[in-house]
Amino acid sequence: MDYQLFAKKLETISAIPITAFHDDLSVNWEGVKENINYLIEHELEVVVPCGNTSEFYALSIEEAKEEIRRVVEYVNGRALVVAGIGYAVPTAVELGNYAKEAGADAVMIHMPVHPYITSNGATQYFKSIIEQVDLPALVYFKDPNVSDDVLKELAPLEKLVGVKYAINDLPRFTKLVREVPTSHNIAWICGTAEKWAPYYWNAGAVGFTSGLVNILPSKSFELLEALRANDHKTSWDVWEYVLPFEELRAKYNNGNNVVVIKEAMEAVGLTAGKTREPVAALNEADHAEVEALLETWGLKTTQNL
């Protein structure tokens, strides 16, 4: 396994697919398949089932496994599949080993959901999972109370190929990137999507996560290309264009994060369905904002996607 080469392949958009649900909240696998095909047809190169936009924390462990297995099958070699895994160490290892068997290319280890985390304990948490799962691994780092020393200690591990950093403390991120030797081949990924990508990029990120790609992949790629080309004018223009959508997702302490995407997808004829608990449908005002924004974007029909 050439981990260095693998890390290079992460220098792009990490697409986090939604998990489509039927009205009774069972998983709509046909809808998941449609969505994955949509992402691949729009040239996404990295697909992350069981990410936060996939409502990972609303899936049972068995459903999470099925999502990983099916996404590998639907992607069918046309992109890298990075499977989200998490919870307690034994559960994360179980999911990781399942992902390996199912043919996933890598795992993304979620931040532990444990209410008590010590920085040394977090290092042990990630290390234990990375060691027990025979796949390249990314760490999803989002708890500002946990020290970046965790990442500095994990960085020399050969299997650690990327960090999805989601703490919007940019000087902190910048220091971290500069302190980890480039010889460790860590792909630094902005974990807070298009709204924050330009700042992270400027500080050393080489990719960003996106939920927006489920509905408007062209703009995400426009941003990626502009960032790569160091074209500030274009990148801030795209940023401004997508900002209202991202800000609507950020409402209610991010409560709206996924439901905005899903209702937008449904509004333009894609299949997404409802969100599961603990996320409810948008209120009327927010839904009207989604509709208005789709109109601005020229997406009120299923054309031009």
Which of 94/148 has CB closer to its own copies?
Answer: 94
Given a contact cutoff of 8 angstroms between Cβ atoms, the answer to whether 99 and 136 are in contact is no
We find the least distance from the C-beta atom of residue 91 to its own copies, in angstroms, to be 5
Instruction: Please report the beta strands in the chain, taking only residues with DSSP state E, as ranges in sequence order.
Output: 13-15, 46-47, 80-85, 106-109, 137-141, 160-165, 187-190, 207-210
Most distant CA pair in the chain, distance: 51
- CA separation for the pair 192, 67 (Å, rounded): 23
We find the least distance from the C-beta atom of residue 1 to its own copies, in angstroms, to be 25
List 94, 194, 222, 246, residue binding its own copies (CB under 8 A): 94
Looking at residues 200 to 229 of the shown chain, list those that interact with its own copies (rule: CB under 8 A): none
List 182, 183, 278, 284, residue binding its own copies (CB under 8 A): 278
Task: State yes or no: residue 254 binds its own copies (CB under 8 A).
Answer: yes
We find the least distance from the C-beta atom of residue 81 to its own copies, in angstroms, to be 21
DSSP code at position 214: G
Looking at residues 142 to 161 of the shown chain, list those that interact with its own copies (rule: CB under 8 A): 145
Residue of 174, 214, 173, 172 lying closest to 194 (CA atoms): 214
Which of 40/89 has CB closer to its own copies?
Answer: 89
We find the least distance from the C-beta atom of residue 114 to its own copies, in angstroms, to be 4
DSSP code at position 152: H
- CA separation for the pair 18, 13 (Å, rounded): 15
Task: State yes or no: residue 277 binds its own copies (CB under 8 A).
Answer: yes
Looking at residues 106 to 125 of the shown chain, list those that interact with its own copies (rule: CB under 8 A): 112-125
Other beta carbons within 10 angstroms of residue 171's beta carbon come to 8
Given a contact cutoff of 8 angstroms between Cβ atoms, the answer to whether 76 and 102 are in contact is no
List 7, 48, 50, 59, residue binding its own copies (CB under 8 A): 59
List 198, 256, 267, 270, residue binding its own copies (CB under 8 A): 256
Residue of 72, 27, 12, 5 lying closest to 276 (CA atoms): 27
Task: State yes or no: residue 61 binds its own copies (CB under 8 A).
Answer: yes
Size of the site for its own copies (CB under 8 A): 45
Residue that is written with structure tokens 């297995």 in the block: 69
Which of 76/283 has CB closer to its own copies?
Answer: 283
Which of 145/303 has CB closer to its own copies?
Answer: 145
Rule CB under 8 A: which residues touch its own copies? 52, 55, 57-61, 63, 87-91, 94, 112-125, 128, 145, 252-259, 275-281
